[in-house]
């Protein structure tokens, strides 16, 4: 098993990232280490330049994100933790795959449509080709499994399409004319619950770093008072909670808060509802706030300590980058060769 996944260092780690992806990263890191496999987790800093950004903020956020991931349980001795910039093979492979990726495939990406909005002419070329870099990120390491939240599923399917077409078109042929694959087809691993955590202000849009309102998300760096305040002000409805999940249909905000509770408590939505059936949000919100504070406080304390030590954070990235470069080299070489590009 080879696990690969990434996160953009464009701001704070929030509850959506944690429940949708990072918690799974930690779980899979241990499983994979026990089975002799390898996990690689990286900061997608090259992806971050596809949108307008402030260079000094990107550098600071990259280090903060390393501290946040380690505080969540990513262990740099068990996993390879690095930023894309340290492994030029990501950008090289993106170019090599650009001859295989089709305009039509990229045009269908919902994230491209959402982020470019009506201003496609003014969007960066990087925003359009972003999913090709994402495909390179995982194909470069022959990833077998990619733990992500629901919103990345389409990008992963594209990576599989690119890998399949490349293997068919350029995989070296054996004596029977069968193409040997250059790339492994990666599988997305999406958690059964909280795969899509929604905004606290609007149950129809996902919790996101780019939402201008900080009240829309719980950051892993929020202190106890901030968390309690955000949960208290979260949008809800005047109904009481039903006895089973079916009763939450059409109640996006209520379903989101109950889903967060279930994911944090490690139980099913029905179990949460069995406990709170007939109660209103006046009773549910303080219980949710306290659960969040209890679970996030240790992460928060660890993050505050780690973020002080810039030299240690840089050392983690440097060591991870070196290991990742070594793992990337054979696939990059095989890709150049399959394409007939002579490296001398």
115 carries an active-site annotation: yes
Helix ranges (DSSP H) in the chain: 15-17, 23-34, 45-48, 55-72, 89-98, 103-107, 110-116, 125-139, 153-170, 224-233, 252-265, 269-276, 281-306, 310-338
- Does residue 17 bind ligand TYM (CB under 6 A)? yes
Scanning residues 97 to 136, which ones bind ligand TYM (CB under 6 A)?
134
295 carries an active-site annotation: no
Burial class (CB in 10 A: 0-12, 13-18, 19+), 308: exposed
- Does residue 16 bind ligand TYM (CB under 6 A)? yes
- Taking the CB of residue 219, how many other CB atoms lie within 10 A of it? 21
Options 2-10, 73-81, 294-302, 309-317: segment touching ligand TYM (CB under 6 A): 2-10
Q: How far is the CB of 24 from ligand TYM (least distance, A)?
A: 9
Cβ–Cβ under 8 Å, residues 274 and 264: no
Point out the catalytic residue in the list 27, 78, 115, 285. 115
- Taking the CB of residue 140, how many other CB atoms lie within 10 A of it? 26
Out of 3, 5, 141, 235, the only residue in the binding site for ligand TYM (CB under 6 A) is 5
209 carries an active-site annotation: yes
CB nearer to ligand TYM: give 43 or 248.
43
Site string for ligand TYM, 192-231 (x = CB under 6 A): ---xxx--------xxx-----------------------
- Does residue 137 bind ligand TYM (CB under 6 A)? yes
Burial class (CB in 10 A: 0-12, 13-18, 19+), 51: middle
- Does residue 50 bind ligand TYM (CB under 6 A)? no
Q: In terms of Cα–Cα distance, which of 189, 71, 217, 82 is closest to 140?
A: 82
- Does residue 140 bind ligand TYM (CB under 6 A)? no
Which letter does DSSP use for residue 192 in this model?
S
Options 4-12, 50-58, 66-74, 275-283: segment touching ligand TYM (CB under 6 A): 4-12
Cβ–Cβ under 8 Å, residues 196 and 171: no
Q: Which residues bind ligand TYM (CB under 6 A)?
A: 5-8, 16-17, 20-21, 44, 47, 134, 137-138, 146, 148-149, 151-152, 195-197, 206-208
């Amino acid at each position: 098993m080879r696990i690969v996944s990434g996160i953009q260092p464009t701001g704070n780690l929030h509850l959506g990232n944690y429940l949708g992806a990072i918690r799974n990263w930690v779980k899979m890191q241990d499983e994979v280490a026990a089975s002799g496999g390898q996990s690689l987790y990286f900061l997608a800093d090259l992806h971050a330049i596809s949108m307008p950004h402030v260079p000094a903020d990107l550098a600071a956020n990259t280090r903060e994100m390393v501290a946040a991931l380690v505080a969540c349980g990513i262990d740099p001795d068990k996993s390879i933790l690095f930023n894309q910039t340290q492994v030029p093979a990501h950008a090289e492979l993106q170019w090599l795959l650009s001859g295989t990726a089709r305009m039509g495939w990229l045009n269908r990406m919902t994230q491209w449509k959402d982020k470019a909005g009506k201003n496609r002419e003014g969007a960066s070329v990087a925003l359009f080709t972003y999913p090709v870099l994402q495909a390179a990120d995982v194909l470069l390491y022959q990833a077998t499994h990619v733990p992500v939240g629901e919103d990345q599923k389409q990008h992963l399917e594209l990576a599989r399409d690119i890998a399949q077409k490349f293997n068919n078109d350029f995989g070296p042929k054996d004596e029977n004319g069968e193409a040997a694959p250059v790339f492994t087809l990666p599988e997305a691993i999406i958690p059964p619950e909280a795969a899509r955590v929604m905004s606290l202000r609007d149950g129809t849009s996902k919790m996101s770093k780019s939402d201008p309102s900080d009240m829309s998300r719980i950051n892993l760096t929020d202190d106890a008072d901030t968390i309690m305040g955000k949960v208290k002000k979260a949008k809800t409805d005047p109904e009481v909670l039903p006895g089973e999940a079916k009763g939450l249909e059409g109640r996006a905000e209520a379903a989101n808060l109950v889903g967060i509770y279930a994911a944090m408590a490690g139980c099913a939505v029905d179990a949460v509802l069995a406990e709170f059936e007939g109660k209103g949000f006046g009773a549910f919100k303080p219980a949710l706030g306290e659960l969040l504070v209890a679970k996030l406080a240790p992460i928060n304390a660890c993050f505050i300590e780690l973020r002080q030590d810039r030299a240690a954070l840089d050392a983690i990235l440097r060591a991870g980058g070196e290991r990742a470069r070594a793992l990337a080299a054979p696939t990059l070489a095989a890709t150049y060769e399959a394409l007939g590009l002579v490296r001398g």
